Chain A
Amino acid sequence: GESVGLHLPTLSVQEGDNSIINCAYSNSASDYFIWYKQESGKGPQFIIDIRSNMDKRQGQRVTVLLNKTVKHLSLQIAATQPGDSAVYFCAEGDNYGQNFVFGPGTRLSVLP
């Protein structure tokens, strides 16, 4: 499939600051995007998703931005907390496909 990549493999932020995790995708046919969080010893946990007819979607302390022009996806975490420390994956798919393409992941470390 097409590739999904992450600009930054690791990200360290101070507790209380905002975090931004980026993702680039290459398949212009992708129209559904998901962010997952994976803590040590656990499976990926759904955070938020966005469809291609939107450019922004907000959840609790998280915002996903989609820029289809440059094929870029970002996850913003407000007031980052120690519990946010994990690996974050983006995934792209389409309304008809069954094979989500996952990025390699970004490790977020929250410093006290």
Chain B
Amino acid sequence: ETGVTQTPRHLVMGMTNKKSLKCEQHLGHNAMYWYKQSAKKPLELMFVYNFKEQTENNSVPSRFSPECPNSSHLFLHLHTLQPEDSALYLCASSQDIGNSPLHFGNGTRLTVT
């Protein structure tokens, strides 16, 4: 079991639905991240939070809305998604920003129909 837990593992949603992805880290890290992993593309950074403050929004469409209530929990709220948003969404944490490795969860496999 990893120190980063993501739920749900699988999610199928229609384009008009609203859903949320949840991430929790048990490592005492200060930074948390959302990454998108699509087929045949490298991992893409979406958002970064450091000590609960958002420090990076990597030009992500507004239909993706992150929330970080504390340094252990991270959410990704989804609404009016497109089929091309289907991907594996990975949460990660690190001790600090830069100079420390990312620890990933097992991801949420999202399918938008």
Interface residues of chain A, those whose CB is within 8 Å of chain B, are 4, 32, 34, 36, 41-46, 49, 89, 91, 93-105
Contact = CB atoms under 8 A, between A and B. Distances in A.
Given A98-B98, A103-B42, A45 B104 contact: yes
Contacts, number: 61
B16 interface: no
Contacts of A105: 42
Given A98-B31, A98-B55, A46 B101 contact: yes
A109 B107 CA distance: 23
Which of A91, A93, A97 has the most chain B CB atoms inside 10 A of its CB?
Answer: A93
A100 B90 contact: no
B62 interface: no
A32 B99 contact: yes
A34 B98 CA distance: 12
A98 B56 contact: yes
Contacts of B82: none
Which of B4, B33, B103, B104 has the most chain A CB atoms inside 10 A of its CB?
Answer: B104
A35 to B, nearest CB: 10
A89 B41 CA distance: 12
A34 B56 contact: no
A49 B50 contact: no
A32 B55 CA distance: 20
Contacts of B101: 34, 46, 49
A91 to B, nearest CB: 8
Given A98-B31, A98-B55, A43 B104 contact: yes
Contacts of A45: 104
B102 interface: yes
A43 B90 contact: yes
B107 A43 contact: yes
B104 A44 contact: yes
